[in-house]
Amino acid sequence: LAAAIFVGVVFVLANRQPVPAAPQAARVSAPAPLPPDIQLLARMDPPAYDAQTLRGAESASARRFHDAMASYAARDFVTARDALRKVLDADPSSLDARYFLGICHLLTGGIEPGIDELRKVIDAGSASPYVEEAHFYLAKAYLKQGKVREAREKFGKVAAQTGDLSQPASEILNRLPVQ
């Protein structure tokens, strides 16, 4: 009986299929953390929003935008982001909604969607009242991503203008490492 058990165990062990090794997860290197001085320069404060009171009848699109911006003014950027997305769904030509949607994305951690929206604002050219601001905040987004060269380019565009953000852009530009 012992011999039969021994032969059975040997037979099972000899014919056993090896258990495949678990596949190793692909290692994706995380981006290196930004140096503290770059982190500070990449910090974003939400740009001010000044609700304008217009005379006459307000369009449905303008009313939706102003309603969305009430959340922005209350610093509820997630709610404002979602409401601004709906404004743009209804009126894709609204550069006001597009600019502030980009800002809300950046403030809530959506760097890529924020960059996409700000690029569209910039692409509108002179039709957009937010070109300077879009370049400035796009530069900040690039800094958050560690893309110093791209940030330098955008800050350079803002510094070369005469708007309100020219001086802050120049100051940041002077503090960025040359690459």
Q: What is the 3-state secondary structure (H, E, C) of 37-67?
A: HHHHHHCCCCCCCCCCCCCCCCCHHHHHHHH
Structure tokens at 35: 């140096």
Residues 31, 23: Cα–Cα separation, whole Å: 24
User: Contact at 8 Å (CB) between 62 and 87?
Assistant: no
Task: For the chain, give the mean pLDDT.
Answer: 84
Task: Give the pLDDT of residue 18.
Answer: 54
What is the pLDDT at residue 30?
Answer: 47
Of all residues in the chain, the percent with pLDDT exceeding 90 is 58
pTM of the complete model: 0.76
User: Taking residues 26-52, what's their average pLDDT?
Assistant: 68
- Predicted local confidence at residue 74, as pLDDT: 94
Q: Which pLDDT value is given to residue 48? A: 84
Burial of 116 (0-12, 13-18, 19+ CB in 10 A): middle
Two tokens, residue 124:
């509108």
DSSP 8-state assignment for residue 1: -
The reported pLDDT for the residue numbered 121 is 96
* pLDDT tens, residue by residue, 71-108: 999 999 999 999 999 999 999 999 999 999 999 999 99
Place of tokens 């699109």: 61
